Structure 1
Amino acid sequence: MWGAGGRDPARGGGSWVGRVAPPLVLVVAVLVVWQWYVDAYAVRPQVLPSPLRVVEQGWAYRDQLWTNTLPTLQVTVVGFAVSLVVGWGLAVAVDFSPWLKRALTPLLVVSQTLPIIAIAPLLIIWFGFGLLPKVVVIALVTFFPIAVGLIEGFAATERQATDLLRSMGASRWAQFRYVRLPGALPRFFTALRIGITYAVTGAIFAEYVGATAGLGIFMNLQKNSFRTDLVLAAVVVTAVLSVALFALTYAVERLVIPWNRRG
């Protein structure tokens, strides 16, 4: 039975409170159990600090956290932008050339089998400790879901719409612009959300390999100093950054394809 307004609650038409409340309650429950366990068993903060201590120390070191968040965010944005350009370029080229699709698709899959943990140090040797090697790491981690999402989106276009435009004398580019591209955008934004979460993780990993500042460097330094509370504070900042970028993709999607609202 559909609710008021003609929306089916089973299809995601509920309020945002109903969508946010369950994970929020679960997180609060985990934090409460965590705090109780640390207090009840007097766990040393070097081993497992309490959530309250993590928040307290994170706030006390907020300037350092912010100073190291900015380089991580910069690398993430630049690397993901490069990934978008590469992913879109490959997907469009593949869509216009069946031969290229047969040639590139296996290589795209192979690119995801490369051990980034082994390649990243080589990138530092080849390109130094600047921005470029970190951007390459992020691009390698994130371009695959974007490219594959677009390729599958183009391929899933309704054949009837394409045949109709072709019967009207539309060029291959016109078919792409008016049918294949709009039809692929929903899948693209799904792939975008997958990629953006990988981007932040890729940036942190790239900083571990070689950087002078960033959340990865901050976590490594605090780990060596046995400041587990500050390591977890940086993890929280990383998670907040990932969630914020993830949520931003929904805002962009509503602007770009408002006709695809899920409720």
Structure 2
Amino acid sequence: MKKMLAQGWRPVTVIILLLIIWEISSNLLSVPTWLLPAPSEIAQEGIASWGNFQHHFISTIKLSIIGFICGVSGGILIAVILHLLPSVRQAFYPLLILSQNVPIIVLAPLLVIWFGFGVLPKILVITLVCFFPISIAALDGFRQTSTDLVHYMQMAGASKRQIFSKLELPHAMPAIFSGLKISATYSVMGAVISEWLGANQGIGVYMTLAQSSFRTDRVFVAIFFIMFLCLLFFILIITLEKLLIKWRATEEDK
């Protein structure tokens, strides 16, 4: 953690420099606001429209969290089943891969047709986006467990359940958290996509209304808040990882 904080100034400096270049270029080239607003104009619009934007932001947060929990729970459950039942893994693992070959932007309208314009199809979209990274990451973590340690526990008389709970699952935790980081950012993307298809509130709805009225500054406000939300979720997952996997945090702080 100390190492991360010590290096944190580098990306912050790069972002600040990019914003300064963007601001200067917009002013020198007199770029129209409707085409590419300057960062200062985007910030002013974000502050001015916060009262109208706030409920959209909160709605997307709630939808992202619910979908993330559903996707992660389903993904870990699928990974555990496929790992403990090799025959099931051989039969269904190719289907798991094929499920990601269908573009979510194509599948989402079908979910709306099947389940209507309520919350359910939106949660399903986020779940479908989130479950794959965590499933693959968990499966890889389970399979990378040292075979020597597995053989040692088998010789000690450990059952399959004990080997999984005391060896394979703890060993797979770093891989699982890697999948969680990806799924956390994907959950926001899935929420925005689901809101595009049919909703009365959310960042996706706000972006659609802003785009249709050529309010490019509001579109960028929504984009920056999406980036902030993804970064916030990512930081929360990292913090949770540091708390639960203390041996890894100790190694990184050395």
What is the TM-score when the length of structure 1 is the normalising length? 0.93
For the structure 1 residues 50 and 259, does the alpha-carbon distance in structure 2 shift closer, same or farther, using more than 3 Å as the test?
same
1:141 to 129, 132, 136: 129
In the alignment, is residue 240 of structure 1 matched against residue 228 of structure 2? yes
CA distance in 1, matches of 2:4, 2:122: 40
Match of 2:5 in 1: 16
1:170-249 matches, cutoff 5 A: 170-249=158-237
Structure 1 SS opposite 2:243: helix
Alpha-carbon distance between aligned partners in 2 of 1:183 and 1:104, rounded to the nearest angstrom: 24
Instruction: Give the SS at the match of 1:14.
Output: helix
Deviations 1:123-162 (A, max 9, x none): 1111111111111111111111100000010001111111
Shift of 1:254: 1.7
Question: Counterparts of 2:28 and 2:70 in 1: how far apart (Å)?
Answer: 49
Structure 2: tracts of 5 or more residues without a match: none
Aligned to 1:114, the other structure's residue is in SS state coil
Out of 80, 90, 97, the position equivalent to 1:109 is 97
CA distance in 1, matches of 2:111, 2:24: 45
Within the alignment, does 1:64 sit opposite 2:52 as a pair?
A: yes
Q: Contact (CA 8 Å) 2:72, 2:183: kept in 1 or not?
A: no
Q: CA deviation at 1:14?
A: 3.3
> 1:224-251, CA deviations, whole angstroms, 9 ceiling, x for partnerless residues?
1111111101111111111000000011
Amino acid across the alignment from 1:242: C
Among candidates 40, 65, 79, match of residue 52 of structure 1:
40
Is 2:153–2:163's contact at 8 Å kept on the other side of the alignment? yes
Report runs of 4+ in structure 1 exceeding 4 Å deviation. none
Instruction: Tell me: CA distance 1:15–1:214, structure 2 relative to 1, closer, same or farther (3 Å).
Output: closer
d(CA) in 2 for partners of 1:204, 1:15: 30
RMSD: 1.2
CA shift for structure 1 position 13? 7.0
Structure 1: stretches of 5+ with no match in the other structure: 1-11
8 Å CA contact 2:177, 2:241 repeated in 1 = yes
The TM-score, its normalising length taken from structure 2, stands at: 0.96
Tell me how far apart the structure 2 counterparts of residues 51 and 197 of structure 1 sit (CA, whole Å). 24
What is the count of residue pairs matched by the alignment?
Answer: 251
The letter for the 2-side match of 1:214 is G
